[in-house]
Structure 1
């Protein structure tokens, strides 16, 4: 009986040590929706503008910009995010050219230049709408750490799951921060003020 008690006490002590070790261990960092490290985000690209002409990322040089990846058939996240960027832009002041807003399609099969032009014009602020071939879009997604995947819908249609984070870049093209979908307008506006200062 005494031996059983000793074994039980040893088991309780070991369980206590394991629990203490787990409690003191730092919590794992939450997984980001951005698929690469901050230092590596971004890079040069050429896509097709909403006017059907090539658009080089070199045209963004010298001005801060926000990039959002989405698609024109998006039912909620994309229009909400672009409308929010327009609202935040107006909150910065009357000059809506203080930073560029770039919208890159993750659905190039459906989003042609004319579609990007019509969609980008809906939000009351200048938005650079870009699309390209599936291969070009894949390359840019990789540069910017963006995830997207087709999701079949009943009836043969499809939607696209995608990273819903806005990426912020300074005048030199360096990644500085993000605006998350669940982030309040206050903190988001502060990030834009710092970006455009």
Structure 2
């Protein structure tokens, strides 16, 4: 992971004692909220490694829930997020996991509202920098720091080219892109980080492409 500036190392403006355990956790929660698209009815939050050992003392629990409530890292409401989540009707369960993960600051977030479900795994690298490493069992690498789209699609020849052609048509520059699939010819996922906001009409054009089943848009 390369840091873009000294502020990435020093850490962001934040509530809490630790940029990795608090600010990073809040950002992971907020990315999960963005991808889910609404306030979930239920959130199961599983901590691994150092997160599992120190989450209460470092405020990782309130930070993740604050992110799920769409609070930024500096939001003064984060210390009260558990109470605010209860008032908003969101049920929260915390689990401490024993299994060893590749990164010590790892959290798995499972969200549901009775109609849809989402499972996300994120890591907090330090200085408030994060990566989303798994989404609904798809492996990926998403920083959450730039505008991005996630394209859920059937694994078909020519579809990657069709998506990038639409982006090129509107002079949208791709900063990072990766593709993963569960099995050949089955469901697949494109993760595309770009340098500028993607407008609604571009999203609609992408959604109209054959074999595309869903477009999830993230903004910085």
* TM bin (shorter chain): 0.3 to 0.5
Q: Which has the higher contact order (CA 8 A, sep 6+)?
A: 1
- Higher fraction of strand: 2
- Higher fraction of helix: 1
State which structure, 1 or 2, has the greater radius of gyration over its C-alpha atoms. Answer: 1
- If the length of structure 1 is used for normalisation, what is the TM-score? 0.32
